[in-house]
Structure formats: structure tokens, C-alpha cells
Chains A and B, each alone.
Chain A
Amino acid sequence: MATVDTPTTSTTARRKVGRLSVTISYAILALVAFVVVFAGVLAPFDPNKQDLNAILLPMSGEHWLGTDDLGRDVFSRMLHGTRVSVLAALLAVALSVVIGLPFGIAAGWLGGVTDLIIMRIVDAVMSFPAIVLAIGITATMGPDIITAMISVGIVMSPAILRLARAQTMAIRSETYIEAATSFGARGLRRMVVPHVIPNIIQPILVQVAVLMGFALIAEASLSFLQLGVQPPTASWGAVLSRSYTFLDQAPMQIFIPGIAIASTVFAFNIIGDEIQRLLDPKRK
């Protein structure tokens, strides 16, 4: 009957594991944010400076993570790449919120035909594997990181839209909404901004955290396929893509960007779970 009576010891253990991964995740995100801001100051070398006399160097005191096949300092490229990757992911997530939030609220609030039309379009967008549609859009419009992240933002927007719609429908029948209606509050300025958005935003923040992870992986995927960041700019995906061409000579250089992506995405997911847990009224 382990499922019914949980021994207190393992509950404590669970909390400890939980707290530890949450703490680590905050630390990772703080570090990433720090690097995004100070990449230029922290990087010991120009990330794009080639030195053909120093190619594929192993890790050393001078080149902490070695150099790539063009003799560029991988550590510096990773620092600058962090900035590019995170900003690219932010752009995609911001776009998905800009699309998803208003249309989701409109669908949930207005219902009826508006809802029907919006949800049909959402179904249609969701009938594409997200990354395939993003590749399709980027490949057609021409490879470029901005284009790539706009595509990613578009394919991610249904996630925000559906959530915003469900949340709006849930609060639409709340008494405080009816009260506001009773004294004539309506429209964007008097109803949506003061009442709807603040009351649906928390679950959306959880989704934003999860989408940040998705967008980082999407950036890496598209840049790996050379549809995203264009040379010589560094990003996590671009560094990974480059190192893959000399896989057998310097396997460590594949390891680093992968770990950077995985741990950042992990941190975003854990923080997302954590916000979710804090918001869940059943768990105190």
C-alpha cells in the first residue's frame, strides 16, 4: 500500500531532491543571465577571430575550451553564443506570447464564431510537426536567425493561445468579472487589461518557461541545419554544428554546447514545474 501511506522519511527526501534541483536551476539561470549581459567583458578573445596557426587546440590555460577548426577560441564563442541563443529564444517566446495571448483571450472571451475560427486555425497549425513547419518557413524565406526564430515563435504560439483561451473561459464566469460588467467595465482598457490578463497570467508564465526550453532546442536544431545563425556568428547551435564537422578530432567541443543547452533547458523546465507547484491550490 505504498501509494496510500507515504512514509514521511521519503517525503522529506523528495522535498530535499526537489529543493536541490530548484536551487541548481535558479543558479543555472542566474549564470546564463549573467553571461548574456557580460559576454563581451568575460570573453578573453574575439569570438570570430581566426588563427590558422592554432587550430583544434585542446583545453589549456589560454584557451579554456580549446579552439575550433579555424583557430577561434571556443570559450569566447560559447559566451557570445549564449547571448545569441538566449536572445533568439526570447524573441521566439515573446512572439508566441504576442500572437497567442490576444487571440487566446479573444477566443475564450468572445466564444462563438470567433472561437471556432481561431481554434480551427490553431488545429491547422498544430497539424504540422513544429520543427518541420519552422524549417519550411525558414527554408522558404531564406536562412537567417531572425526569420528562424519568427517561425519558431509562430509554431509555438498555439501552446500559449490554447492556455490563454482555457484560462479566460475559466475566469469569464467569475463574480468579479460580472461585478465589473455590472458597472459598465468592458473592452480592452477596462476589462481585459485590469481583470482578465492579471488573473490568467500565472499559468502562462509556466508555459513561457517551458517554451524557453523548446525555443533553445529549436534554435540549436535550426542552426545545426544552417537555417538559423549564419557564419561567422556564434550560437550554441552554431558551435555544435561547426564542431560536428570535426567530431573525431575534438569530441569535447561537441560536449560543451550540448551540456549548455541541456542544463539551461532543464533549468527552465524545473522552474516551470516549480511555479506550477506553487500555484497549485491543492499543495500547500
Chain B
Amino acid sequence: MRILRVVGTCLVAAIPTLILATLIVFMLQRLIPGDPAVAIAGEYATPENLERIREELGLNQPLIMQYLTWIGNAFTGDLGTSFQTGESITALVMQRLPLTALLTLMALLVAILVGLPTGVIAAQKVDTAFDRFLTTGATFGIAIPNFWLGMMLIIVFALNLGWFPGPGGVSLQDDPAGALRALVLPALALGLVGGAEICRQVRSAMVESLSTDYVRTHRAKGLSNRSIVWKHALKNSSLPFATIVGLQVSRLIGGAVVVEAVFGLSGIGSLAVEATNQRDYGVIQAVVFVAAVIVLLTNLIVDVSYRLLDPRIR
């Protein structure tokens, strides 16, 4: 089975990065100013209380032991307990993650639907006024802060037109249809900016692909322009496209954190913001960790598809 071997190779290649990434997450804890136990329990904590926290966090152990314990727990699905609510952090994250995941996926869909066709068309008409118009538009698009675009969408489509709900709590679990509706505007806010990025990247990939001898040969053979652009050149750009989409996932997760705050959505982004206000360091750490795991998984998928798509990489 080639695919299994490829997945295996990519997994092995990803391991050092994963270990270093977990090390970064672990070191976040070291950034807590002063004594972490005091920071968690508050200045007026009793010595017994502080001792209990140190015990629970394993702060009395050597650093390497702390790391090994933490990483061992993390990969068996135990991200610790929240010091504010006493809840399992894994449960908290898993409760919030689906909404963020759905938002990211919807935004990715928007981004691809907007960015791919415009990028291809711009590449086809490269160096014309139309191309310049699209490229300048895309440059303006990537300059717009996505959370501000979200506010603009709220003003127009929620407050004035009333087509979509304004900011406010929705629960994916209790009201899936309502949640989906509430996700349209934030997905647009994220996806349009992402689409502008994809447009620029697809354009340069396609310009390169259209200038290859391979495409020129097809042209000489008399293939229709449409078939050349949408079938052959696009297929030839599939590797950069995989990279572009992979990169976009990371960008969208980052953007989702901020956009969730704008729309009052209870995903992992707002979980991180709430945790910040409550100094719930374990939760912050967990959110950063989960985000990195998602990005690494995406990179893994991109890597695998690279190897499967490109006959030159074995």
C-alpha cells in the first residue's frame, strides 16, 4: 500500500516538529510572571493552598519531568483541569472546538470559492487592466482586518437589513440550524479576506504554470483556452494550491479567534479570551496546543497529498 507508506513517512518527518512545538507550548507556562502558583491562586492564597497547587501542577519536580508528565497527559487526552472552574480542560476545549472547526471550514469554503476563480481569471488575463483591477482589489482585500469586516457585515446585514442574527450566543449542540445561520457572517468576514490571499497566490502559481512549455504545447495542439486553463494548467498548479490551502487553514484558525470575539461565538477563541481575563493559564496553553495540533495535521495532509500527487517525490 503506497498510501500507507507515504503517510508513515510524513508522520515520521513531522515528529521532530511536533516535539519542538509541544516544547514551545510547555514553555509558555514558564512565561508566567513570578511564581505560577501565586499567579494562579492569587496573592492572598494560604501557604497550604499554594503548596497544593504546586503539588498538582508538579511544580516541585524537575523541569524535564514536568514536561514529560504534561506531554504524556496531553497525548492521552488529558489537558489538565481549569483552576478557575475545576473542570476538565479537555472537556472545555472539546465542547468549544466544533463551533470553531465549523467556522473555519465554512470560511475556507468561502475563501476557495472567492479566491480560486478570481486568481485563475486574473492569471489568464495577466498584465491587462482587468488583471490589475483584480490584483489591486485583492491587495486591498488582504489589507482589511477580518474582525473589522465582521463588524461592517454586522452593521449592514444584521442591524440594518436584519437578514442574519447579530452578535450573540448560539449553541451548535442545542440549535444546529440557528448556529449555522449565525456562522454565515463570521465565515464571510474570515473567508473574504482569506479569498483575497488565495486569489493573489493562485494567480502567481497559475501565471507560472501558464508560461510553461507544457501549456504552450497544448496551445499549439489547438486545445481550447478553457480546457487549457481549467484542466491542464490548474492541474499543474495543484501542488502550490495544496500549499496555499494548507497555509490558509492556519491563517483562518488565527482569524477565527478574533472574529469569534466580535460575533460573541463560543468557540475556542473566546475560550482563550475568557481564560486570559481569568488568568486560567492551563486553558490558554491548551488552546494554543490544540491550534498547533490542527495546523500540524493540516500540514501532514498537505504533505501526504504532495507525495501522492507529485510523481517526482517518492
Contact = CB atoms under 8 A, between A and B. Distances in A.
A153 interface: no
Contacts of B20: 120-121, 123-124
The SS class assigned to the A binding surface is helix
A127 B148 contact: no
Contacts, number: 178
B155 A247 contact: yes
B242 interface: no
Contacts of A7: 128
B292 A127 contact: yes
Interface stretch (A47-55, A86-94, A262-270): A262-270
Interface residues of A, number: 58
A275 interface: no
A3 B295 contact: no
A113 interface: no
A258 B164 CA distance: 22
B128 A17 contact: no
Q: How large is the interface on B (under 10, 10 to 19, 20 to 34, 35 or more residues)?
A: 35 or more
Interface in A1-38: 1-4, 6-7, 10-11, 13-14, 17-18, 21
Interface string B18-31: 10110111001101
A131 B17 contact: no
Interface in A221-254: 221, 224-225, 227, 240, 244, 247-248, 251, 254
B152 interface: yes
A137 B33 CA distance: 11
A128 to B, nearest CB: 5
Residue from the set A10, A120, A220, A248 with the largest chain B CB neighbour count within 10 Å: A10
Contact of B151 (A11, A14, A124, A247): A247
B24 A128 contact: yes
Interface in B276-314: 276, 281, 284-285, 287-288, 291-292, 295-296, 299
B33 A142 contact: yes
28 contacts: A1-B219, A1-B225, A2-B128, A3-B210, A6-B127, A10-B128, A11-B128, A14-B128, A120-B20, A124-B20, A129-B254, A131-B255, A132-B288, A133-B288, A135-B276, A135-B288, A140-B32, A142-B33, A221-B147, A224-B261, A225-B258, A240-B151, A248-B159, A254-B155, A258-B145, A262-B143, A262-B145, A266-B143
Interface of B: 16-18, 20-21, 23-25, 28-29, 31-33, 124-133, 136, 139-140, 142-145, 147-148, 151-152, 154-155, 159, 210, 219, 225, 250-251, 253-255, 257-258, 261-262, 272-273, 275-276, 281, 284-285, 287-288, 291-292, 295-296, 299
